[in-house]
Amino acid sequence: MLFKNKMSTPSAPTPSTPEIITTAAEMRVWSRRQRLAGKRVGFVPTMVISMKRRAKKFFRLACFSFLPIDRSISFSQPRPPLLSSASNLQGCLHAGHLSLVDLARTKADVVVVSIYVNPTQFAANEDFGRYPRTRERDRSLLAERGVEAVFEPETLYHRSTDSNDDNANVVGTAAEESDDAHDTFVVVERLSRGLCSLSRPHFFRGVATVVAKLFNVVEPDVSVFGEKDWQQLAIVRRMARDLDFAVKVLGGEIVRESDGLALSSRNELLTAGDRRRAPCIYAALKEAKKMVSGSPSVTAGEVAGVVKTRIEAAYDSGFSPPPPPPPPKVDYVSVVDADSLSPVPDDVAISSRKGRRTLVAVAAFFGEVRLIDNMVVAG
């Protein structure tokens, strides 16, 4: 099985003197000045942006992901301009994020990466405070990739509390109820139902809201998000269409470890035993695709059943000392239309969906760590 090269690097950009930008207003001025110079701006929310020169006097932006970083790091290469109002920023970039930077590089003239762990995507009982942050490493990786700018906001929301609690500004806490708290949210109604929203009801409201804010600040033309978060990608595309953002949203392929595990910052939280068992998700998805290609009569319900069984049966025979950790707990296995995210009825043969792509999406807990993955199995 071939996997996307995790560390492939595009041709190096022309070195430039980095510019430090500290506010959203300065970010807008920076982008508009580039357009006046005849450049195209790209934006990746981690977030990352890329720009390519064109004859026309405007910018094109590409957008990918968000994560926050530490200013003490020194760079051996020219340092990207820091677009930040924070002194304590955080993040955890991996090769999947960097592949989005590479894709942005092919679509625009300059690449801007925003790094921000978005609190409104977490519920009060989730792992916002434990989400991995590797600040110095993130900056170093982006410098090696030749990123032109890094946007590192301490927060993109009005802070209604001075609490140091990691969850103080997470959706669902008392802080949200204060009179001057952030009070405007974006909801993509139908695509936000099902899949991950069943166990994380706040998540996609947070995604749509923070991406809308970033689009307004950076004003990109092209935005790149990873396909591992398939529902998120679909929601951002629909939001950009429905709210008339002048942004083309692109999807970047899933980047995997050599054993098939989809790259994620949360992988760093897995125990050794759970890390050995986690590739069972990808193995189950491959088996689902093989079932669909091998039998015209296999139904969505049969595929979902096999995937769920394979994951729950994962056993780490090399675990020592015994007993092994408990088996993975499946959050969901869903067979859906890849574009509308509408569930495929259990009794429908997948091969009967002529001209439609069918996606199998999975979320499962390994200990306390929730992992997601997906695969288009037909169409």
Which residues form the catalytic set? Answer: 97
User: Whose CA is closest to 9, among 141, 127, 132?
Assistant: 141
* Nearest-angstrom CA–CA distance, 291 and 310: 13
Picking from 110, 88, 66, 81, the residue whose alpha carbon sits closest to that of residue 22 is 81
DSSP class of residue 368 equals: T
Q: Are 235 and 188 in contact (CB under 8 A)?
A: yes
Give the whole-angstrom CA distance, residue 153 versus residue 98: 20
Give the chain's end-to-end CA distance (angstroms, integer). Answer: 20
Q: How much of the chain is helix, strand and coil, in % rounded to 5? A: 30, 20, 50
| Chain-centre distance for alpha carbon 7 | 18
CA distance 199 to 363: 10
Assign 27 to helix, strand or coil.
Answer: helix
Structural contact between residues 314 and 327, judged by C-beta atoms closer than 8 angstroms: yes
- In angstroms, rounded to a whole number, what is the distance separating the alpha carbons of residues 355 and 367? 39
The rounded distance, in Å, linking the Cα atoms of 238 and 160 is 31
Instruction: State how far Cα 121 lies from the chain centre.
Output: 11
Whether residue 277 contacts residue 286, with contact meaning beta carbons closer than 8 Å, is answered with: no
Establish whether the linkage from the previous residue to 321 is cis, with ω within 30° of 0: yes
- The strand pairing partners of 223, in sequence order, are 43, 249
Q: 254, 121, 200: which is closest to 365 by C-alpha? A: 200
- 20 alpha-carbon distance from chain centroid: 25
